[in-house]
Amino acid sequence: MLREMKRREFVKASLATGAVLLAGDMVKGGINLAYGAVKIPEAEKATVTVITDNYFNGLLQPYKIAKRYGIKPGTDVYKMNLHAEHGLSYHIETVLNGNPHSFLFDYGVDFQGVTRNMELLNIDFGTVEALGLSHGHFDHWGTFLQVLKWKKEEFRKGVPLYIGEEGFVERFAQMPGGVLSIGQLKREDVERLGFVKTVEIKDPTPIVPGAYLTGSIERVTEYEKGSPYLLIERGGKLVPDNFIGEYAVVLNLKGKGLIVLAGCAHPGIINIVKHAQKMTGIDKVHAVMGGFHLTGAKPELIQRTVADIKAINPDYIVPTHCTGYDAITVFEREMPGQFILNSAGTRYMFTV
Ligand SMILES: [Fe+2]
Ligand SMILES: [Fe+2]
């Protein structure tokens, strides 16, 4: 009720004053931002290519908006297989007023595998306008420095890397046998590349026309509490990581609604989608994609997450990466008309 009132007040105020923000404006306020504070320009087309993921099946057939990477007749099957790993990487393209804009979001782990996929998927580095990173875990930034060095001559000089709070801080996992480092992207290594401009953000920020990074995610569900085993170093001590700097991507597809892409969704995929709805003032969600971090989750957490996604009622649900087999099968069973099984190399063709 309160939310609906806020929405109505916001719409009324916006209509009266035209006071909506356009891409290029930085929205202050982070997790306390107002309902509808961000107006994402509508894309008339968007293509999301999953460069790598935890799963690959070369025999999958095209399905709805999913264009599959297929091994074609006449090609060398030993060189055409895509690589899958515990990692995630996206190439995202928006089209506005006939003009394409593209960026990379996350970079997987294995340099040989990820770069082979990039070549087989014909990723055009020369047109990449920006780089984004969901959060500081190795399975999302692992190849970042190597890929940038590998394609140094093709990337635009000064290409920005948008990175969240604590994006450069070392992360750890508490394992049964002790504490394991799960990576640290170092600021000085990025600076040493010499052609990447680091942009640290906290708030919703446009990454290319038609796409925003969320900034810090407001926590609204009481059941998405995160893992006590994922740690971050603060003040010389290891403490549970609250992923204040994990961000997702939000696109606004003309007439269809929001497309939400998560990395690992440590803040909770429902928190992320609700945050995207709040920041844009758009309730209609066209697609939710990404790692939902439900591997090994208790059945109750999986059931509540799936129930809330069902209530949000996206046209497509594409759980990938760390969502895990158990949760993926529940999404498939509970949302058969909306579920799409991801496979590395799949291109999601969003059209109006
Ligand atoms: Fe991950
Ligand atoms: Fe993660």
pLDDT digits (tens, 9 = 90+) for 117-154: 999 999 999 999 999 999 999 999 999 999 999 999 99
Tally Cβ neighbours within 10 Å of residue 46. Answer: 27
Question: Rounded CA gap, 70 and 346, in Å?
Answer: 9
* Amino acid letter, residue 274: K
Structure tokens at 204: 């919703």
Nearest ligand for residue 86 CA: 1
pLDDT given for residue 14 in this prediction: 33
Global pTM? Answer: 0.92
95 Cα–ligand 2 center, Å:
29
135 Cα–ligand 2 center, Å:
7
Nearest ligand for residue 88 CA: 1
Q: Where are the beta strands (DSSP E) in the chain?
A: 45-52, 66-67, 89-96, 99-107, 128-132, 159-163, 171-175, 178-181, 196-200, 205-208, 211-213, 230-234, 237-240, 249-253, 257-262, 285-291, 316-320, 347-351
266 Cα–ligand 2 center, Å:
7
Nearest ligand for residue 135 CA: 2
pLDDT given for residue 30 in this prediction: 54
DSSP conformation class of 82: P
Nearest ligand for residue 85 CA: 1
243 Cα–ligand 1 center, Å:
12
The 10 Å CB-count burial string (b at 16+, else e) for 167-182 is bbebbbbeeeeeeeeb
What does R_g of the chain's alpha carbons equal in angstroms?
A: 19
pLDDT given for residue 71 in this prediction: 76
pLDDT given for residue 32 in this prediction: 76
Question: Rounded CA gap, 262 and 321, in Å?
Answer: 10
Nearest ligand for residue 87 CA: 1
Question: Rounded CA gap, 317 and 32, in Å?
Answer: 27
pLDDT given for residue 15 in this prediction: 34
pLDDT given for residue 206 in this prediction: 98
pLDDT given for residue 20 in this prediction: 35
pLDDT < 50 positions in the chain: 1-29
205-208 sheet: strands from edge to edge: 205-208, 211-213, 249-253, 257-262, 285-291, 316-320
334 Cα–ligand 1 center, Å:
24
